[in-house]
C-alpha cells in the first residue's frame, strides 16, 4: 500500500496539534516528561498500522545528507527514502535554500513524513552558510541573563521550523573540566555543573516551547576527555560517584524538566561497562540500564554519529547499528548502510536478541515525536524570502545582545577602561596573527584616530624589532589577537614563541590593552598577559565580537560577562569585571531603542531613488537615538562613473553645516566660559569693524540672520579680467612665498588677499530693512573673532578644544593635507572660477580663497564624526562625561529668538520654519524644539532633543554641477528623517519605547 503525506493528512492531519492524548491523563506529566508523550495517538496509530515490520525498523534510521554535494548524492538519498522508507535525515554542510529544496523533495517522496535534524549548537550557521551565527556555548556560559539564552533557543527553533528542521542536536551539556579536551571545549557552557545546567535548561526550554526537539549531549558526559571521539575511542576512567555527582548532573536536571531527547556519546567507561573497546553508544548497561531504567528517561535516545571512529573502527556498518539498537538507542544517527542495517536487525529479531515489540515501541515513540513537531500537518517549505527570514532583525539584535553580555573583562588596571580622554593619546591598533586590516581595527577607528600595525604569526625576529621601533611613539597600544586555532591541543592554539615574546615585552614597555578573539583557554598560553593594563576575552572571532570589544574599550557598551571556566591561576572561573557603557556613542540596531529595522527600510528606498534620478552620486546616512547609532550606511559612489563606492569612513565637504560645526561651536564654548556674549556687537569683538557700518551690529541679530548683512559677495569675480584671465597679483599656478595659499590644484592665491576679502565685507552696504536675510558674511569673519578672543588660530582652537577630545578626528579643513583623496568625496566640476573637478579642496569660492579655512564653509568630515559633535549638542555641551560647552549654552542658542517677527532661526542654528509642513526645511514630524543646518553641497544634520535623536545626511549633489537641484526637489534629506519619525510613531502604537 502506498502511503504518502497526503494520505497522512487525510487520515490524521486534521487533528489539532495539541489535541489531548488518548492515554489516561495520569500517564503524562507535563513538568517532567518529554512533551511528545502527549502526542495525538490517533495519528500515531493510523500511521503505524500502515507500516511493515521492515518499515518500522526503518523509522529508527536517520541518514546523513549534504546540501553542498552533487546531484548524484541528492538522487542517492531519494533512492534510500523511496526504497527503504527511512525515518529521518540529519543535514550537514550546505546552504538553506538548497537544503529546503531537498527537504521538500524528500518529504514528498517519503511514505511517512521524515524527522529532519541538524547539529546547530550555535544556530544553523554551525552547518549552513547565509545564516545567523550565535555565540559558542562557552561564551554563553559567561552570560548572567539566562532569559537571553532562552530567547536564543526559541529563535534557533523558529529558524529550524522555517527550514523544516524538527530536531536540533543541542544543547551540549558536557561539563568541560578538562582544558585539553579536543572535541568539546568551546562547545560547552563551562566547568561548573550548576551553571551548565542552568544555561542548558534555558536553551532547551526555548527550543521545545517552539516545538523543536532539544537533544542533550553527549551522554553520560564528554567533558573530561583528551581524545576526539571522531578520531578514536576516549577512555573515561572515573568512579561511579564522580559520574553521578558531576557528569550526570545536568542530564538529570534536564530530564526532570521535560527534555525531549538525548544523544549518547562514543566513550569507553569501564565503571559502567568494562567490555574492552566498547563505546557507551553500544553498551546496554549504559543506555538501557542507566539512561532508560535508572534515570527513567522516556524521551528519544539518539546515537552519536555511527560513522565516527569511536565506533566505526571496531564494527562495520550494519553491525554497529544493530549493536546500538540492542543497547537501547531509539534512533540510529548516520547509518551508512541502510540495506544491511535492516537485514541485520531482522536477523537480531529472529535470533531473539531483540523483539519486534521492542522495535514497534520505539517506532511508535518516533511517530509520536513526529506528530508533536507538526509532521501530521506537513507543508512544503516556502523558499521565497527564506534567507531573509532566517537572518531576521530580531535574530540579529538577539545575537548582538548575547555577544554584549558574554565578552569578559579580566583585567582593568587603574580603571583604564573605558578610555576617558582621547586628545592626549596616540593610539596604535596592533593586529596579532594577521597581515590584513581587521574589523577590530576598523571599529576602534570609529572612536578616535588609530594607526594600524601588524604582527603576523610567522614574523621574524627582525620584523619584531622593526615593529617595536615603530610603536615607540605611541602611548597606548590596543592589541587584538586573531586567527587562533579553535581546538585545544592544536599547538598552543597557533600562538608562536615569537608572538609570546613580543606581547610580553610590549606589556612591560607601555600601556597595552589586549583583546583575545579565540578560544578562552588560549589565554593560558600567553606569558604575562595578566600584567596587561586590560584584557578582554571575546571567546571567538567574528565581526560582532570585534565590534563589541571596541565599544567596551571606548565606553559605548558595558563589560559584564563572567568567565565560565578556570583558564589559569590568573584567570579563574567567575572572574569578570564590570564597566558602565553609555560614555560615548554606541553602535547597534534599531531594535536596541525599540524601533524595527523594517520600519527604517524606507531610508534605503529614498536614497536609491535619489541616486537613480541622479540627484546625487552617493550619500552617507546616520541616525542615532538615545546615544546609540542605529542606522549608518553609505550608498552609491563618489561620482557617476561608479569607480569608487562610498564608504562610511569617507569625508564629505560639509558646506554650510560648517557654520554650526565651527563658528557656532567656538562661540558657544566661549559663551559658556563668559568670553563671548551674543548681546555684544561685532565691533567689540573685531576692531577692524570699528568705524564701519557693521560696528554696532548685535551678535544676536547677526547669528539669526537679521542684522541687515548682504547674503554673500562673489569675491572671486574681483580677481578676473574681462578676458577671463586672473589678475596677475591674485593667483599663480605654482606656490611661492608670495602665493603660498592653495585654492585648488595648480591655483595659489596671494598671501595677503584675505585682507582684501575682509575689507570688502567691511565696506559692503547693509540691507535697507532689518528683515531676515541668510548671510555668510559674519561667519567669514568668525575665525578672526575667535582668534581675537583666544589668541589661537581658528583651526587649532577647534581641534584642541573640541574635535580631538570628542574623537571627531575627521572633522578638518583641507583634507588633502591629511587623507588620501580616495577617502575624500569630490564635489563639482566647477567651470567658472577654478575650472576643474574640486577634490580635496573646498567647494565654496570664498572659503577657497581663504585657504580653505573659514567659519561659513570649508569643513570636511564623515557622518560618524559629525554625529559626535551633534550628540554633544544634544547633551547640551557634554560628551563622554566631559563638559565642553558650559552654562546651558547649547540649549539657549538652539531656542527660536524672533519667532514673533516671523524669523524661525535660533542663534546660528536652523529650526523648523513651519513644523508639520511638507516640503519644508525639516521633516514634517520634527518638533519645534529641534534644530540643525543644511549645506549647499547636499549635506544636512538635525538634532531633536524631544526624541533624543541625531541625524546626519551627507552627499555631493553638486557633482558634476551645482545646477542640479533634484535633491531639494525630491526633499530626500528631510524625507529620510521623516522615515525615522514614522518608525517611532509605529513603535509608540505598539507600546512604549
- Which residues lie below 8 Å from residue 394, measured CB to CB, with a gap of 6+? 155, 591
C-alpha grid cell, residue 862:
564623515
C-alpha grid cell, residue 181:
579536551
* CB-based contact 219:262 (threshold 8 Å): yes
Cis peptide bond N-terminal to 418, omega within 30: yes
* Cα 603 to Cα 979: distance, rounded to the nearest angstrom: 7
Q: Residue 75 to residues 82, 529, 555: CA-CA distances in angstroms? A: 11, 54, 55
Residue ranges of the chain with per-residue pLDDT less than 50 = 1-26, 993
- CA quadruple 433, 435, 440, 446: dihedral positive or negative? positive
* Cα 342 to Cα 345: distance, rounded to the nearest angstrom: 5
The answer to the question of residue 900 being in a domain is: no
Place of cell 570636511: 860
Residues 867 and 952 in one domain: yes
Instruction: Collapse the DSSP code of 776 into the 3-class scheme (helix H, G, I; strand E, B; otherwise coil) and give the result.
Output: coil
The predicted structure's pLDDT at residue 992: 53
End-to-end CA distance of the chain: 59
Question: Regarding beta strands 747-749 and 829-830, do their DSSP bridges make them parallel or antiparallel, or are they unpaired?
Answer: unpaired
Of 588, 617, 652, the residue that ends a domain is 588
The predicted structure's pLDDT at residue 900: 82
The predicted structure's pLDDT at residue 228: 72
The predicted structure's pLDDT at residue 16: 35
* Cα 219 to Cα 247: distance, rounded to the nearest angstrom: 8
- Which residues lie below 8 Å from residue 357, measured CB to CB, with a gap of 6+? none
Residues 576 and 614 in one domain: no
* Cα 207 to Cα 319: distance, rounded to the nearest angstrom: 34
The conformational region for residue 877 under phi > 0 = left, psi -120 to 50 = alpha, else beta, is left
Domain range for 535: 407-588
Residues 764 and 686 in one domain: yes
Residues 545 and 634 in one domain: no
Residues 493 and 641 in one domain: no
* Cα 776 to Cα 783: distance, rounded to the nearest angstrom: 13
Of 360, 389, 418, the residue that ends a domain is 389
Residues 384 and 493 in one domain: no
* Cα 707 to Cα 761: distance, rounded to the nearest angstrom: 14
DSSP state letter for 559? -
The answer to the question of residue 700 being in a domain is: yes
We report the CATH number of the domain holding residue 483 as: 3.40.50.1700
Q: Residue 465 to residues 358, 435, 457, 503: CA-CA distances in angstroms? A: 71, 16, 15, 12
Cis peptide bond N-terminal to 220, omega within 30: yes
CA neighbor of 43 nearest in space, from 62, 61, 25, 16: 16
* CB-based contact 221:304 (threshold 8 Å): no
Residues 442 and 551 in one domain: yes
Buried b (16+ CB within 10 A) or exposed e, 284-323: bbbbbbbbbeebebbbbbbbbbbebebbbebbebbebbbb
* Cα 171 to Cα 252: distance, rounded to the nearest angstrom: 14
The predicted structure's pLDDT at residue 12: 36
The answer to the question of residue 748 being in a domain is: no
Q: Residue 70 to residues 73, 81, 92, 94, 98: CA-CA distances in angstroms? A: 6, 17, 14, 11, 11
The answer to the question of residue 415 being in a domain is: yes
The answer to the question of residue 14 being in a domain is: no
Helices (H), 174-231: 193-208
CA neighbor of 593 nearest in space, from 986, 905, 179, 145: 986
We report the CATH number of the domain holding residue 174 as: 3.20.20.300
The answer to the question of residue 646 being in a domain is: yes
Angle, CA 893 vertex, CA 892 and CA 896 arms, to 5°: 90
Torsion of CA 677, 683, 688, 691, to 10 degrees: 180
Of 343, 362, 389, the residue that ends a domain is 389
Residues 44 and 164 in one domain: yes
* Cα 249 to Cα 564: distance, rounded to the nearest angstrom: 17
Instruction: Quote the number of domains for the chain.
Output: 3
Residues 425 and 343 in one domain: no
The predicted structure's pLDDT at residue 152: 98
Residues 578 and 613 in one domain: no
C-alpha grid cell, residue 485:
586555532
Beta bridge partners of 812: 860
The predicted structure's pLDDT at residue 65: 98
The answer to the question of residue 563 being in a domain is: yes
SS3 per-residue string spanning 691-739: CCCCCCCEHHHHHCCCCCCCCCCCHHHHHECCCCCECCCCEECCCCCCC
Angle, CA 494 vertex, CA 490 and CA 496 arms, to 5°: 125
* Cα 912 to Cα 925: distance, rounded to the nearest angstrom: 10
Q: Write out pLDDT tens, residues 301-322.
A: 999 999 988 888 889 999 999 9
C-alpha grid cell, residue 605:
528606498
The predicted structure's pLDDT at residue 897: 92
The answer to the question of residue 541 being in a domain is: yes
Residues 244 and 360 in one domain: yes
* Cα 321 to Cα 329: distance, rounded to the nearest angstrom: 10
- CA quadruple 504, 505, 506, 509: dihedral positive or negative? positive
Instruction: Collapse the DSSP code of 513 into the 3-class scheme (helix H, G, I; strand E, B; otherwise coil) and give the result.
Output: strand
* Cα 462 to Cα 452: distance, rounded to the nearest angstrom: 19
Q: Write out pLDDT tens, residues 918-955.
A: 888 999 999 999 999 999 999 999 999 999 999 999 99
* Cα 36 to Cα 208: distance, rounded to the nearest angstrom: 10
Q: Count helices and strands (H / E) in the chain.
A: 35, 30
Residues 568 and 485 in one domain: yes
Amino acid at each position: 500500500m502506498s502511503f504518502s503525506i497526503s494520505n497522512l493528512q487525510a487520515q490524521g492531519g486534521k487533528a489539532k496539534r495539541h489535541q489531548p492524548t488518548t492515554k489516561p491523563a495520569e500517564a503524562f506529566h507535563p513538568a517532567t516528561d518529554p512533551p511528545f508523550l502527549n502526542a495525538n495517538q490517533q495519528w500515531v496509530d493510523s500511521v503505524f498500522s500502515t507500516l511493515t515490520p521492515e518499515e518500522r525498523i526503518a523509522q529508527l534510521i536517520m541518514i546523513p545528507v549534504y546540501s553542498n554535494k552533487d546531484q548524484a548524492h541528492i538522487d542517492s538519498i531519494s533512492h534510500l527514502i523511496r526504497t527503504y522508507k527511512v525515518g529521518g535525515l540529519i543535514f550537514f554542510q550546505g546552504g538553506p535554500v538548497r537544503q529546503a529544496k531537498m527537504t521538500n523533495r524528500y518529504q514528498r517522496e517519503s511514505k511517512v513524513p521524515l524527522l529532519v535534524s541538524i547539529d546547530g549548537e550555535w544556530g544553523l550557521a554551525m552547518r549552513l552558510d547565509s545564516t545567523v551565527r550565535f555565540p559558542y556555548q562557552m561564551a554563553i556560559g559567561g552570560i548572567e541573563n539566562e532569559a537571553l539564552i532562552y530567547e536564543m533557543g526559541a529563535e534557533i527553533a523558529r529558524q529550524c521550523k522555517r527550514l523544516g528542521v524538527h530536531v536540533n542536536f543541542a544543547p551540549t551539556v558536557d561539563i568541560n573540566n578538562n582544558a585539553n579536551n579536543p572535541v568539546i571545549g568551546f562547545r560547552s557552557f563551562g566547568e561548573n555543573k550548576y551553571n551548565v545546567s542552568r544555561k542548558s535548561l534555558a536553551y532547551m526550554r526555548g527550543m521545545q516551547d517552539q516545538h523543536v526537539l532539544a537533544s542533550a549531549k553527549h551522554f553520560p558526559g564528554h567533558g573530561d576527555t583528551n581524545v576526539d571521539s571522531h578520531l578514536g575511542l576516549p577512555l573515561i576512567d572515573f568512579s561511579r560517584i564522580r559520574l553521578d555527582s558531576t557528569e550526570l548532573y545536568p542530564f538529570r536536571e534536564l530530564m526532570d524538566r521535560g527534555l525531549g531527547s538525548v544523544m549518547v556519546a562514543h566513550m569507553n567507561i569501564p565503571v559502567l561497562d568494562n567490555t574492552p573497546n566498547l563505546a557507551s553508544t553500544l553498551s546496554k548497561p549504559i543506555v538501557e540500564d542507566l539512561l532508560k531504567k535508572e534515570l527513567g528517561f522516556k524521551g528519544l535516545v539518539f546515537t552519536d554519529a555511527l560513522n565516527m571512529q569511536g565506533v566505526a573502527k571496531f564494527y562495520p556498518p550494519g553491525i554497529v547499528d544493530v549493536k546500538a539498537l540492542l543497547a537501547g538507542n531509539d534512533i540510529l544517527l548516520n547509518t551508512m548502510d541502510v540495506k544491511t542495517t535492516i537485514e541485520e536487525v531482522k536477523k537480531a529479531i529472529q535470533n531473539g536478541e531483540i523483539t519486534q515489540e521492542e522495535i514497534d515501541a520505539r517506532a511508535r515513540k518516533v511517530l509520536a515525536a513526529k506528530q508533536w513537531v507538526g509532521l501530521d500537518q506537513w507543508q512544503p517549505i516556502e523558499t521565497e524570502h527564506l534567507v531573509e527570514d532566517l537572518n531576521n532583525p530580531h535574530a540579529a539584535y538577539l545575537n548582538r545582545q548575547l555577544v554584549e553580555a558574554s565578552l569578559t573583562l579580566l583585567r582593568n588596571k587603574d580603571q583604564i577602561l573605558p578610555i576617558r580622554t582621547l586628545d592626549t593619546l596616540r593610539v596604535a591598533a596592533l593586529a596579532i596573527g594577521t597581515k590584513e586590516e581587521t574589523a577590530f581595527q576598523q571599529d576602534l577607528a570609529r572612536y578616535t584616530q588609530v594607526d594600524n600595525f601588524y604582527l603576523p604569526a610567522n614574523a621574524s625576529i627582525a620584523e619584531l624589532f622593526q615593529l617595536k621601533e615603530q610603536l615607540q611613539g605611541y602611548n597606548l597600544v590596543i592589541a587584538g589577537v586573531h586567527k587562533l586555532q579553535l581546538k585545544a591541543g592544536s599547538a598552543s592554539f597557533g600562538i608562536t614563541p615569537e608572538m609570546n615574546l613580543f606581547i610580553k615585552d610590549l606589556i612591560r614597555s607601555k600601556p597595552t590593552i589586549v583583546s583575545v578573539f579565540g578560544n578562552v583557554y588560549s589565554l593560558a598560553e600567553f606569558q604575562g598577559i595578566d600584567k596587561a593594563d586590560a584584557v578582554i576575552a571575546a571567546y571567538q572571532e567574528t565581526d560582532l565580537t570585534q565590534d563589541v570589544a571596541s565599544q567596551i574599550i571606548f565606553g559605548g557598551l558595558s563589560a559584564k560577562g563572567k568567565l565560565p571556566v578556570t583558564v589559569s591561576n590568573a584567570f579563574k572561573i567567575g572572574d569578570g569585571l564590570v564597566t558602565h557603557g553609555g560614555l560615548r556613542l554606541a553602535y547597534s540596531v534599531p531594535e536596541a531603542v525599540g524601533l524595527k529595522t523594517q520600519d527604517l527600510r524606507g531610508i534605503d528606498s529614498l536614497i536609491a531613488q535619489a541616486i537613480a534620478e541622479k540627484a546625487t552620486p552617493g550619500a552617507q546616512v546616520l541616525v542615532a537615538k538615545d546615544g546609540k547609532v542605529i542606522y549608518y550606511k553609505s550608498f552609491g559612489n563618489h561620482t557617476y562613473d561608479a569607480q569608487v563606492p562610498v564608504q562610511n569612513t569617507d569625508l564629505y565637504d560639509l558646506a554650510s553645516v560648517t557654520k554650526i560645526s565651527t563658528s557656532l561651536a567656538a562661540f558657544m564654548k566661549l559663551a559658556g566660559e563668559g568670553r563671548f556674549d551674543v548681546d555684544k556687537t561685532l565691533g567689540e569683538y573685531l576692531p577692524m569693524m570699528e568705524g564701519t557700518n557693521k560696528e554696532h551690529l548685535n551678535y544676536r541679530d547677526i547669528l539669526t540672520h537679521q542684522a541687515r548683512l548682504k547674503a554673500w559677495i562673489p569675491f572671486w569675480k574681483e580677481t578676473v579680467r574681462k578676458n577671463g584671465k586672473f589678475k596677475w597679483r591674485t593667483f599663480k599656478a605654482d606656490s611661492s612665498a608670495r602665493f603660498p595659499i592653495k585654492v585648488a590644484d595648480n591655483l595659489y592665491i596671494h598671501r595677503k588677499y584675505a585682507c582684501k576679502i575682509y575689507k570688502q565685507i567691511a565696506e559692503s552696504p547693509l540691507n535697507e530693512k532689518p528683515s531676515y536675510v541668510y548671510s555668510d558674511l559674519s561667519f567669514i569673519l568668525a575665525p578672526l573673532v575667535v582668534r581675537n578672543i583666544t589668541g589661537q588660530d581658528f583651526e587649532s582652537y577647534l581641534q584642541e578644544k573640541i574635535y580631538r577630545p570628542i574623537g571627531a578626528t575627521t572633522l578638518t579643513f583641507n583634507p588633502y593635507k591629511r587623507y588620501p583623496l580616495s577617502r575624500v568625496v569630490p564635489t563639482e566640476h566647477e567651470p567658472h572660477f577654478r575650472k576643474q573637478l574640486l577634490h580635496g579642496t573646498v567647494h565654496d569660492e570664498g572659503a577657497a580663497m581663504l585657504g580653505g579655512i573659514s567659519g561659513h564653509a570649508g569643513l570636511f568630515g564623515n557622518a560618524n564624526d559629525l554625529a559626535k559633535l551633534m550628540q554633544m549638542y544634544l547633551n547640551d555641551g557634554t560628551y563622554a562625561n566631559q563638559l565642553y560647552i558650559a552654562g546651558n549654552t547649547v540649549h539657549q542658542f538652539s531656542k527660536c529668538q524672533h519667532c514673533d517677527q516671523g524669523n524661525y532661526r535660533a542663534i546660528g542654528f536652523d529650526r523648523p520654519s513651519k513644523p508639520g509642513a511638507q516640503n519644508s526645511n525639516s521633516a514634517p514630524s520634527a518638533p519645534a524644539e529641534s534644530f540643525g543646518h543644511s549645506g549647499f553641497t547636499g549635506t544636512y544634520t538635525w538634532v531633536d532633543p524631544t526624541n533624543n535623536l541625531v541625524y546626519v545626511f551627507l552627499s555631493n549633489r553638486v557633482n558634476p554641477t551645482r545646477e542640479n537641484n533634484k535633491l531639494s526637489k525630491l526633499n530626500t534629506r528631510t524625507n529620510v528623517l521623516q522615515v525615522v519619525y514614522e518608525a517611532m510613531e509605529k513603535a509608540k502604537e505598539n507600546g512604549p519605547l
